[in-house]
Amino acid sequence: MGPERVAIDSGSSMPYTSIEKLNGLNYASWNFKMKLVLMECDLWTTVQPGEELKDTDDHRKMRLHECRQGKAFAKVCLALGDEQQQHVQHLSSPKDVWEELQRLYAPKDSKLRILQLRRQLYSEKLESHGGMDAYLGKINHIVTELTNIGDRIDDDDLAMTILCGLPEDWDVVISSICNLPESEFCCSTVKRRLIAEWARRIESSGKCEEAMAATTAERNSTDTRQSTKSTLVCFRCGKLGHFAREWTSKAPKSLKHPKAATGKQPKTRPCNMFASYGTCTDNKSIC
């Protein structure tokens, strides 16, 4: 079963925005998405810096303030899981709810949480993900969580961490990136080059697969033809495996071009044409 999601009305003709509810484990991504929802509805200022209604007798302004506070409060609370809602039921303003959630799930200067996230960051490997985009996305997610709790990683350190998570067959690419001038070596450059290299490898892999598929198809076709011919009977020689038209090329030379006999021919008695008529060749008598 997938994560619980909530559809939030943006307050305009635009379609509902769907985000995953806060469940205690996804605070970093939820925080960012919820901020975008409130900004889309023009309600972010109710959270930061917060909106306070100064003493006024203008009922129109009071009504507008209460309406904005109520909308922002409802949107934030409806985007929480049931267990998370228990922590903010006693609060009444969107700013207070936001700050309470931050204290619970992203406490500033939490050394233990920083240690856990840093350990996770340094152990991320490309092989553990479906592709380069997924790998870099996970890195960005962890960095966002670290930023939310008050930790910050230098750009160069993050770039080196990303390169450390690549397997050995990427060493040539890593070497070329590390040899960049100091002014060009940064996290954005590293990401851009890695994504381009990943796309190139995917394209190359696709061409190899197409070539292998074509070779396999040709081999299968040849095998099929040979298998079919193995059941044929030549009507000239009566043997299997070839057509009659191929018999000449397969037949022994002695059968294709029989040689004339070279032995001595037996002597034959000369024919006497007169013998058949009872006439004797001897002049003295007639048979």
- Name the DSSP letter for residue 44: G
* Per-residue pLDDT, 232: 63
Q: What's the CA gap between 161 and 182, in Å, rounded? A: 17
pTM above 0.85, yes or no: no
Q: What's the CA gap between 79 and 36, in Å, rounded? A: 13
Region 260-279 average pLDDT? 49
Residue 59 Rama label (left phi>0; alpha psi -120 to 50; beta): alpha
- Classify the C-alpha dihedral 68-70-72-75 as positive or negative: negative
Mean residue pLDDT across the chain: 79
Q: What's the CA gap between 10 and 24, in Å, rounded? A: 24
Q: What's the CA gap between 17 and 7, in Å, rounded? A: 5
Percentage of residues of the chain with pLDDT beyond 90? 45
| Residue 13 pLDDT grade (very low, low, confident, very high; cuts 50, 70, 90) | very low
| Residue 80 pLDDT grade (very low, low, confident, very high; cuts 50, 70, 90) | very high
- Name the DSSP letter for residue 22: B
Q: What's the CA gap between 47 and 62, in Å, rounded? A: 18
* Per-residue pLDDT, 219: 63
Q: Which residue has the tokens 């796309």?
A: 199
Report whether the peptide linkage leading into residue 258 is cis, meaning its omega lies within 30 degrees of zero.
Answer: no
The string of pLDDT tens digits covering residues 127-151 is: 999 899 999 999 998 998 898 888 8
* Per-residue pLDDT, 175: 95
* Per-residue pLDDT, 51: 83
Give Cβ neighbours of residue 93 (< 8 Å, ≥ 6 apart). Answer: 46, 50, 69, 73
Region 197-226 average pLDDT? 69
Q: Given a cut of 90, is residue 267 above it in pLDDT?
A: no
Q: Where are the domains of the chain?
A: 5-105, 111-202
If you write DSSP's letter for every residue of 261-287 in order, what string do you get? Answer: P-SPPPP-PPP-TTGGGT--S-TT---
204-173-164 Cα angle (round to 5): 120
Q: What's the CA gap between 34 and 39, in Å, rounded? A: 9
Q: Which helix (H) or strand (E) holds 156?
A: helix 155-164
The string of pLDDT tens digits covering residues 66-78 is: 999 999 999 999 9
Percentage of residues of the chain with pLDDT beyond 70? 66
Burial of 47 (0-12, 13-18, 19+ CB in 10 A): buried
Q: Given a cut of 80, is residue 223 above it in pLDDT?
A: no
| Residue 192 pLDDT grade (very low, low, confident, very high; cuts 50, 70, 90) | very high
> Which of 178, 164, 170 is CA-nearest to residue 195?
170
Give the tokens for residue 171. Answer: 């060493």
Q: Which residue has the tokens 């993900």?
A: 129
